[in-house]
Amino acid sequence: MNKGETSRRRFLVATIAYSGLISTGMGAALLRASTAWAQSGNGNADELTRIARLLYPHDGIADAVYVEVIDSILSDSVNDVSLKEILNQAVTALNAAQNGNWFEIGADDQIKAMRVVQNEPFFAAIQGGVRVRFYNHPKVWEHIGYPGSSVEFGGYADRGFDDIDWLPEDA
């Protein structure tokens, strides 16, 4: 991994972390980003959305959330050449392994193809970018039972910080 790629990955992970960038108000701008991506001949944003779901597959999470995550990354790539390059590399590499048709094959084969390239720097960059956006997304939090900020509710001192009830009696 060269230095540029390392710092790119750090950027994705560190500065986007929890930034709350994803909000419904950004919808229009995000839509433009994915359209621009598709129109500039980079392939379909659906491929990236598929990658996002295979990275972190949760049946109970609607496609719309994965689409939002990818659109947020694409929106950042508009003014970021190296990020755009990373996304291109990913799509190109996956397709190269599958005669240009990674998106069309079955999930198991798609995952196999991803495993082949998972140690490539671009893969870590996309994984980091998806992870930080996806697992900080309010709909994902709701789905998995994480409520987020608690200080406005007085913390958990009176709301179950010690309510565990299944531990063995003898312990």
Partner 1 sequence: MANRYELNDSSVVVVIGSGAGGGTVANELAQKGIDVVCLEAGSRMTLADIVNNPGIMNAKMGWLDKRIGAPTWLCKTVGGTTVRWSGITPRFQEHEFKPLSTYGKLDNTTLIDWPITLDELAPYYDRAEDRMGVSGTHSIPPSAETNEFKVLKAGGKKVGYKEITSTRAAINPVARDGRPGCRQIGFCWSGCAIGAKWSTLYSEIPKAEATGHFELRTKAMVVMIDHDDSGKVTGVVYVDESGDTHEQKARVVCVAGNVVETTRLLHNSASSMFPDGLANSSGQLGRNYMRHATTSTTAIMPGPVNFHRGTRQSGLIFDEQYHKPERGFAGGYLIETSAGDPFGIAQSVGGWGESTAEYLENYTNLAATWVTGEDPPQASNKITFHDTERDQYGLPVPVLNYEFHPNSEAMYAHAAMTSKKLLESLGGRNVTSVKGGGGGCHNMGVARMSANPRDGVTNRWGQSHDIANLFVSDGSVFASSAAANPTLTIVALAIRQADHIAERMSRKEL
Closest approach, Cβ 122 to partner 1, in A, equals: 14
Concatenated DSSP letters for 24-71?
GGGHHHHHHHHHHHHHTTS--HHHHHHHHHHHS--TTS-HHHHHHHHH
- Asked whether 16 and 136 are in contact (CB, 8 A), the reply is no
Closest approach, Cβ 44 to partner 1, in A, equals: 21
Identity of the residue, 3 or 39, whose beta carbon is nearer to partner 1 in the bound complex: 3
Restricting to residues 67-106, which ones interact with partner 1 according to CB under 8 A?
Answer: none
Our finding on whether 4 is near partner 1 (CB under 8 A) is no
Tokens of 10: 């750090």
Phi, psi of 156 (to 5 degrees): -115, 10
Closest approach, Cβ 135 to partner 1, in A, equals: 4
Supply angle C-alpha 79, 90, 7, rounded to 5: 55
- Of 32-40, 42-50, 54-62, 64-72, the window that binds partner 1 (rule: CB under 8 A) is 54-62
Restricting to residues 124-163, which ones interact with partner 1 according to CB under 8 A?
Answer: 127, 131-132, 135-136, 140-141, 144-151, 154-157, 159-163
DSSP 168: -
Between CA 70 and CA 50 the distance in angstroms is 9
Work out which of 31, 38, 54, 105 binds partner 1, going by CB under 8 A. 54
Between CA 160 and CA 7 the distance in angstroms is 41
Work out which of 26, 31, 38, 56 binds partner 1, going by CB under 8 A. 56
Identity of the residue, 55 or 83, whose beta carbon is nearer to partner 1 in the bound complex: 55
> What residue ranges bind partner 1 (CB under 8 A)?
13-20, 54-58, 111, 118, 127, 131-132, 135-136, 140-141, 144-151, 154-157, 159-168, 171
